[in-house]
Amino acid sequence: MRYFVHFSYLGTDYHGWQKQPNASSVQEKMEQAFSLLLATPIELMGAGRTDAGVHAKKMVAHFDTELGFDKQIIKDRLNAFLAADISIDQILAVTQETHARFTATSRTYEYIVVNQKDPFQHHGAHYVFQPLDIQSMNKAAQILLGEKDFECFSKSNSDVHTFICDITHAKWVATKGQLVFTITANRFLRNMVRAIVGTLLEIGTGKRPVTDIPLLLETKSRSKAGPSVPAKGLYLTQINYPENIYV
């Protein structure tokens, strides 16, 4: 039987979702907990990878087991066993062919910027002291919409079969003392959101014009785009799947 795990985590103390040698990861901690409580080795396949320090308000992974268990009881025991910065939200049975990564239809990220220094948001937002032109940043964000080659915003030497992504939403909104950038696409390249945000912030501070965006996309050169913003302001907030996957 295949199960989906819906969970969230604060990524500050982890080297991302994916297991890595000599580094603490969310996947490692969760697999240890699942394997202990179910008394059998459990391997989790995540919907994607997040970089060190990135957070997830909504992440999904799947695992297979023939064991019978009470999903609510195991969820509660996992939350009692895991560290406070990882929370299991749901465990749901899905069809066997459903895959946490490949069945996903879209993903949404948020990036949080604060314009005033706030010690209570130090670990969860990026502080930018310069005034920001939100209107220009949103004009630039709209140019990103659609199916395009985003190699210029991808981590250098990324091992992917294509740099084509389809962005369906990209917008900055000022709310509750924060400036939040929300972006949705069918897929994302490594470091893509942080590079896009860094470039849009350069536009917002007047360091480059809105018209730079189409030129950057044409160059396909990461060195031409803006710097990557810190991981601490980035949150995976939603992963969408077809409605018929749950059993």
- Give me the pLDDT at residue 3, please: 98
**Taking the complete model, does pTM exceed 0.85, yes or no?**
yes
Cα separation, 247 vs 95, in Å, equals 6
- 120 and 78 co-located in one domain: no
Residue with tokens 């939040």: 180
* pLDDT(89) > 90: yes
- Give me the pLDDT at residue 20, please: 87
- Domain annotation covers residue 247: no
Q: Domain ends where: 102, 127, 150? A: 102
Residue with tokens 């079969």: 161
The mean pLDDT value for 51-71 works out to 96
Give the structural domain span for 226. 106-238
For 103-125, write each residue's pLDDT tens digit. 999 999 999 999 998 898 889 99
Beta pairing, strands 106-114 & 126-127: parallel
- 87 and 111 co-located in one domain: no
51 is catalytic: yes
- 138 and 83 co-located in one domain: no
Q: Are 103 and 241 in contact (CB under 8 A)?
A: yes
Question: What's the number of domains the chain is made of?
Answer: 2
Least confident of 3-12, 64-73, 115-124: 115-124
* Nearest to 202, CA basis, from 152, 136, 154: 136
| Catalytic residue, candidates 13, 51, 64, 133 | 51
The mean pLDDT value for 10-30 works out to 94
Q: Provide DSSP, 153-167.
A: GSPTT---S--EEEE
- 79 and 125 co-located in one domain: no
Q: How confident is the model at residue 32 (pLDDT cuts 50, 70, 90)?
A: very high
For 155-175, write each residue's pLDDT tens digit. 877 778 899 999 999 999 998
- Give me the pLDDT at residue 215, please: 96
- 114 and 183 co-located in one domain: yes
- Give me the pLDDT at residue 131, please: 94
Cα separation, 217 vs 103, in Å, equals 28
* pLDDT(213) > 90: yes
Between 59 and 118, whose confidence is greater?
59
Q: Domain ends where: 67, 102, 137? A: 102
- 119 and 88 co-located in one domain: no
At 112, give phi and psi (nearest 5°): -110, 125
CA distances from 202 to 41, 99, 131, 136, 170 (A): 47, 38, 11, 10, 16
- Domain annotation covers residue 129: yes
